[in-house]
Amino acid sequence: MKDIKVLGTGCANCRNTVKLIEEVAAERNVAVNLTKIEDLPEIMKYGVMSTPGVVVDGKVVHAGGVPDRAKISTWL
């Protein structure tokens, strides 16, 4: 199971990123533990300066803008 965190303060791009990850994971039948982190000090711990940020299994893989489906697929 992949541990995925979406870092963001609740903006539309952050919500869309969560939704896309859920959709792609469901399409590929991949189990994910998806967490949304909105606490700014917690986000800063990852060194993410532009949101949404995505952390997969403890590693920052994306920051700034909504990732596309192809990119999400590579994380899964």
Which is catalytic among the residues 3, 9, 11, 39? 11
Q: Is 4 exposed, middle or buried (0-12, 13-18, 19+ CB in 10 A)?
A: buried
Which is catalytic among the residues 7, 14, 43, 72? 14
**Does 21 qualify as catalytic in the annotation?**
no
**Does 73 qualify as catalytic in the annotation?**
no
How many DSSP H helices and E strands does the chain contain?
3, 4
Distance of CA 17 to CAs 13, 41, Å?
Answer: 6, 20
Q: Which residues does the annotation mark as catalytic?
A: 11, 14
